[in-house]
């Protein structure tokens, strides 16, 4: 779905149930090629199988769902290739996401506070774009459990700006993220 047709579909999808159907349609269309390529790759036609494998190896994230849902096969070489390709795609995507997040680590523009519908026990700390990028980069790179991540984010956002700047610098320069959860 491109340009004008996407615009029309979005304009028509103002209600949640219409939006859900639109999302399902777009996801299905986007994943369909990967699923078909996997099916062709698993066939016994050697030339077609090689072409389908080449397509999968160059389709980046569009190949993910097809490879993740690949049916069982006794051809271990294909299983290993699929697993390696999945890992390569995931690593490449993580790298691109990390680069995008890192590009915002110097941007100190304040982030608007979220709209809150209920009174909170403690106020939501003001953050900057660099703080948000740091927290998301931490989530991407550290791989800590959700509870630990939330404790560390809460402690990070309550630091004075100068200390947050030091944390951001350490993350950017050395890849270091302080684990405040372990400092109790």
Strand partners, 110: 128
37 vs 52: CA distance, rounded Å: 5
Listed residue (152, 145, 151, 148) closest to 177, CA to CA: 152
For 58-85, the pLDDT digits (tens) are 888 889 999 999 999 899 999 999 999 9
Q: Does residue 22 form part of some domain?
A: yes
pTM confidence score: 0.80
How many CA atoms does the CB half-sphere of 82 hold within 13 Å?
25
Please check whether residue 87 lies inside any domain of the structure. no
**Region at 60 (left for phi over 0; alpha for psi -120 to 50; beta for the rest):** left
- Residue span of the structural domain in which 8 resides: 3-79
Q: What is the DSSP string of 18-37?
A: HHHHHHHHHHHHHHHHHHHH
Tokens encoding 51: 């072409």
Counted domains in the chain = 2
In terms of domains, do 11 and 66 share one?
Answer: yes
The arithmetic mean of pLDDT across residues 130-141, rounded, is 94
Task: Identify the band that residue 89 occupies on the pLDDT scale cut at 50, 70 and 90.
Answer: very high
For 29-58, write each residue's pLDDT tens digit. 888 989 999 999 999 899 999 999 999 998
């Amino acid at each position: 779905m491109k340009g004008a047709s996407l615009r029309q579909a979005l304009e028509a999808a103002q209600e949640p149930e219409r939006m859900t159907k639109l999302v399902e349609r777009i996801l299905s269309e986007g994943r369909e090629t990967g699923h078909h390529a996997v099916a062709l790759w698993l066939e016994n036609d050697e030339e077609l199988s090689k072409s389908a494998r080449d397509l999968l190896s160059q389709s980046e994230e569009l190949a993910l769902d097809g490879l993740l849902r690949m049916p069982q096969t006794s051809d271990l070489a294909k299983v290993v290739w699929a697993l390696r390709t999945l890992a390569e795609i995931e690593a490449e995507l993580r790298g691109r996401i990390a680069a995008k997040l890192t590009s915002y680590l110097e941007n100190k523009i304040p982030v608007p506070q979220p709209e809150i519908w209920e009174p909170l026990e403690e106020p939501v700390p003001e953050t900057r774009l660099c703080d948000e990028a740091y927290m998301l980069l931490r989530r991407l790179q550290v791989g800590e459990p959700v509870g630990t991540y939330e404790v560390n984010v809460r402690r990070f956002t309550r630091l004075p700006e100068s200390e947050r700047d030091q944390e951001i610098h350490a993350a950017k320069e050395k890849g270091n993220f302080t684990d405040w959860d372990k400092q109790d």
